[in-house]
């Protein structure tokens, strides 16, 4: 059961789950009816799509760390977070085999949090930054 109710803390917990690879922990902070406006290609919009993404990060990288560069509330339960992820690429990442390279890239998420659960998310990751680090 989720005991976190502060919207910023709920959003921060999502990043902790990415960093630990704790797919099961997503039930603590994601609404079963979650709407993901930017799901992984081929994944459904919802909690299962986010499970897939957390597992992909866990399986593709070690030492994953999300640093919150900025976080603020935008009203009506919306939290905006700009983050930087650092890690080492040690496993397959959507078809790119492990390179052993250290990576650092940024992203911005908008999460709507109602009663301690993320009900809606819009996210943009700087995947070109990541791609260039993995392939150059």
Please report whether residue 1 resides in a domain.
no
pLDDT at 2: 53
Distance between CA atoms of residues 65 and 2, nearest Å? 22
Residue 109 domain-assigned? yes
Residue 85 lies in a domain: yes
Please state whether beta strands 102-114 and 78-89 pair in parallel, antiparallel, or not at all (unpaired).
antiparallel
CATH label of the domain that carries residue 18:
3.10.450.50
**What mean pLDDT is predicted for residues 45-59?**
93
Domain count of the chain?
Answer: 1
Q: What is the pTM of this model?
A: 0.92
Mean residue pLDDT of the chain comes to 94
With contact defined as beta carbons under 8 Å apart, do 56 and 48 qualify? no
How many whole angstroms separate alpha carbon 126 and alpha carbon 104?
Answer: 10
State the residue range of the domain holding 34: 7-135
Residue 19 lies in a domain: yes
For residue 2, what are the contacts with CB-CB under 8 A and spacing of at least 6? Answer: 10, 28, 29, 116, 117
In a domain, 110, yes or no: yes
Say whether pLDDT at 1 is over 60: no
Tokens read off for 12: 């921060």
Q: Is the distance from CB of 121 to CB of 15 less than 8 angstroms? A: no
Cβ atoms of residues 39 and 18 within 8 Å: no
Q: What is the pLDDT of residues 99-109, one digit of tens each?
A: 999 999 999 99
């Amino acid at each position: 059961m989720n005991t976190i109710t502060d919207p910023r803390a709920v959003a921060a917990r999502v990043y902790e789950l990415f960093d630990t690879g704790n797919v099961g922990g997503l039930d603590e902070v994601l609404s079963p009816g979650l709407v993901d406006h930017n799901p992984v290609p081929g994944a459904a919009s919802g909690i299962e799509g986010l499970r897939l993404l957390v597992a992909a990060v866990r399986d593709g990288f070690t030492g994953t760390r999300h640093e919150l560069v900025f976080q603020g509330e935008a009203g009506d339960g919306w939290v905006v977070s700009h983050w930087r992820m650092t890690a080492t690429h040690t496993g397959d990442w959507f078809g790119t085999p492990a390179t052993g390279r250290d990576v650092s890239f940024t992203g911005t998420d908008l999460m709507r949090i109602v009663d301690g659960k993320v009900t809606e998310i819009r996210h943009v990751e700087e995947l070109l930054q990541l791609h260039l680090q993995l392939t150059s």
